[in-house]
Amino acid sequence: MPTSPTTSQPTASQPAASQPTSYRALFALPGTRAFIAGNLLARLPMGMFGVSAVVMIAGTRGSYALAGAVSATGLAATAVAGPWVARLVDRYGQARTGVPATVIAVLGALALLLCVRLGAPDWTLFAAYAATATTPNTGGMSRARWAHLLAGDAGALHTANSFEQAADELCFLLGPALAAFLSGTLFPEAGMLVAALLLLTGMLVFAAQRATEPPPRPSVRGRAPLRVPGMPPLIAGFVATGAVFGALEVVTLAYADAHGHRSAGGAVLALQAAGSCAAGLLYGTLRPAAPPERRLPWCLLAMAALMSLPLLAARALDSLPALAAALLLAGTATAPTMVTALTLVQHRTPEGRLNEGMSLAVTGLLAGVACGSAAGGWTVQRLSPTAGFLVPVAAAAGALLIGLLGRRARPGRRIACANSCRTH
DSSP-derived secondary structure letter, 289? S
pLDDT for 175 equals 81
239 is a domain residue: yes
Same domain, 187 and 75: yes
Domain of 203 in residue numbering reads as 30-152+175-219
Predicted TM-score (pTM) above 0.85: no
Half-sphere exposure of 156 (CA within 13 A, CB side): 23
User: Where is the domain boundary, 192, 219, 246?
Assistant: 219
pLDDT tens digit sequence for 401-422: 998 887 765 544 444 344 444 3
Q: What is the DSSP string of 238-260?
A: HHHHHHHHHHHHHHHHHHHHHTT
25 is a domain residue: no
CA distance 83 to 200: 20
CA distance 15 to 154: 9
User: Where is the domain boundary, 188, 219, 250?
Assistant: 219
- Within 307-353, where are the H helices? 308-312, 320-331, 334-348
Check residues 261 and 350 and name the one with the higher pLDDT: 350
Would the pLDDT of 18 be above 60? no
9 is a domain residue: no
What's the CATH number where 369 sits?
1.20.1250.20
pLDDT tens digit sequence for 2-14: 333 333 333 333 3
Same domain, 416 and 323: yes
Range scoring the smallest mean pLDDT among 28-42, 218-232, 335-349, 385-399: 218-232
Same domain, 205 and 232: no
Burial 391-414 (b: 16+ CB within 10 A, else e): bbbbbbbbbbebbeebeeebeeee
Same domain, 135 and 146: yes
Would the pLDDT of 15 be above 60? no
Arithmetic mean of pLDDT, 113-120:
90
195 is a domain residue: yes
Same domain, 212 and 228: no
160 is a domain residue: no
Same domain, 411 and 354: yes
Same domain, 130 and 242: no
pLDDT tens digit sequence for 279-311: 888 887 777 777 888 888 999 999 999 999 999
pLDDT for 404 equals 87
Same domain, 189 and 283: no
Where residue 269 falls among pLDDT bands split at 50, 70, 90?
confident
User: Where is the domain boundary, 160, 192, 219?
Assistant: 219
Same domain, 293 and 204: no
Same domain, 56 and 147: yes
CA distance 168 to 277: 8
300 is a domain residue: yes
169: Cβ contacts below 8 Å, ≥ 6 apart: 273, 274, 276, 277, 280, 334, 335
Q: What type of residue is 182?
A: L
Mean pLDDT of the chain: 81
11: Cβ contacts below 8 Å, ≥ 6 apart: none
Same domain, 332 and 275: yes
pLDDT tens digit sequence for 161-170: 888 888 887 8
Same domain, 202 and 234: no
CA distance 95 to 89: 8
167 is a domain residue: no
Q: How many domains does one find in the chain?
A: 2
pLDDT tens digit sequence for 127-156: 999 999 898 888 888 888 888 888 778 788
pLDDT for 409 equals 53
Where residue 265 falls among pLDDT bands split at 50, 70, 90?
low
323 is a domain residue: yes
